[in-house]
Structures are given as C-alpha cells and as structure tokens.
Amino acid sequence: MKMTVDFEECLKDSPRFRAALEEVEGDVAELELKLDKLVKLCIAMIDTGKAFCVANKQFMNGIRDLAQYSSNDAVVETSLTKFSDSLQEMINFHTILFDQTQRSIKAQLQNFVKEDLRKFKDAKKQFEKVSEEKENALVKNAQVQRNKQHEVEEATNILTATRKCFRHIALDYVLQINVLQSKRRSEILKSLFIYVSSINILCYPLCMPIWLSSIKDMICLVNLGPI
C-alpha cells in the first residue's frame, strides 16, 4: 500500500505533515465531487435508458399490430414478427444492462462515497478537534506563571495527555487516508470493469446475431420488390 502521508512526519506533526494533509484533503474533496457527478450522470443515463426501453417496446407492439394486420401476406407477417421478436430481445438485453449499470456503477460508487469517504470525514473531524485541543494546551502551558508550581504541573500534565491523544488520533487519521487512497483505485476500476463486462458478455455477443439475422431477412424482403 502506497503511503500518501508519512507516519513519522505525523508523529512529529511537522510542516511537511501538515502540507501533505492539506494536499490530500483537497484531493479527496475533489474526488468526492467527481464521483457525485458521475453517479448523477449514471442515474440520468439509467433513467433515459429505461425510458428508451419503454418507447422501444411501444414501437415493437406497433410492429406486431402491423404484422397481425398483414396476416393475409405470409411474407410480410413473418418478417415483421421476426423483426419485432428481435426488438424484444434487444429490449431484454438493454434492461439487463441498465440493471447491471445500477449495481456496478451507481450502487458501488455510492457505497464508496457513503462509507469510505464518510469514515475519512469522521477521522478528519476528530483530528481537527484534537489539533485544536493540543494548540490550546500549548498556549496554556506557555502562559502559565512558572513561579506557581501547581499550575505548572497541571498545565504540563494536560499538555502531555493532549499530545498522546493527538498522536493516537493523528495516526488513525493517516491510516484512514492511506487506506482510502489505496482503495479508491480498486473501487473505481472494479465498478467500471463490471459495467464493461456486462456490455461485452450480456448484450452484444448475444443480441447482435439475432439482430443481424433479422436485418438480413429484411434486406432479402426488400430485394424481392413488389409482391
């Protein structure tokens, strides 16, 4: 797993660590925007595709009505019926494709945003909170009067405890960052791979032969000329 933020720099809370955090946080914020946009586009594509299937089915029913009307012409009736059957297969395959699209891209990327990015945001909030507490402890420790031993000890103890808490939460935050940066690649590529595989396996190899066969029949019919 590639370390995008160094653990040693984290423990030192160095300027390099803070700069790395700023860069990563900006990158993750942009990633979330891109994924949200992609999910919305995917939803729009699915909705449009479903509407296309509905319209296509209505068109197919119209062809079947015409085929029934042409029952006195066996050639026309048979050709139109076969053509409408091919359309039905195309509609079935597109329905499967849109279902797979919803499962692979929409659902998977939404889950990544809601689960993994949410964990990152929660860790970020905890880190920001403990960072502020550490800064307050440093200020209080610097301002305490050194001739008041009791106040000095109290401020020192608070600072020590706050630093320990900071290191613990900071390490958890860095771990969450590095896990997220590693997981984002696999989640994005896996969702798109499933989508492409659905196109390759479910649709075109199965429906194209049916569609091409129907087209050949229609060409033959047209070449016959007036009957």
Q: What is the pLDDT of residues 141-181, one digit of tens each?
A: 888 887 788 888 888 888 899 999 999 999 999 999 988 98
Instruction: Give the Cβ contact number of residue 180 at 10 Å.
Output: 20
Q: What is the mean pLDDT of residues 193-210?
A: 66
pLDDT given at position 39: 92
Q: Could you count the other beta carbons within 10 Å of the beta carbon of residue 78?
A: 14
Token pair 């329905």 is found at: 95
Residue 226 is predicted with a pLDDT of: 43
Pairwise CA distance, residues 104 & 138, whole Å? 49
pLDDT mean over 91-110: 86
Helices (H), 102-203: 108-111, 117-143, 149-198
H helical segments located in 199-227? 204-224
Single-letter code of the amino acid located at 96 = I
Domain at 7-224, CATH from 3.90.1150.10, 1.20.1270.60, 3.30.460.30, 2.60.40.10:
1.20.1270.60
108 pLDDT higher than 70: yes
User: In whole numbers, what is the pLDDT of the chain averaged over residues?
Assistant: 84
- How many percent of the chain have pLDDT more than 70? 86
Taking 90 as the threshold, does the pLDDT of residue 217 lie above it? no
Q: Taking the CA atoms of the chain, what radius of gyration do you get in angstroms?
A: 31
pTM value is 0.75
Name which residue leads in pLDDT, 145 or 43.
43
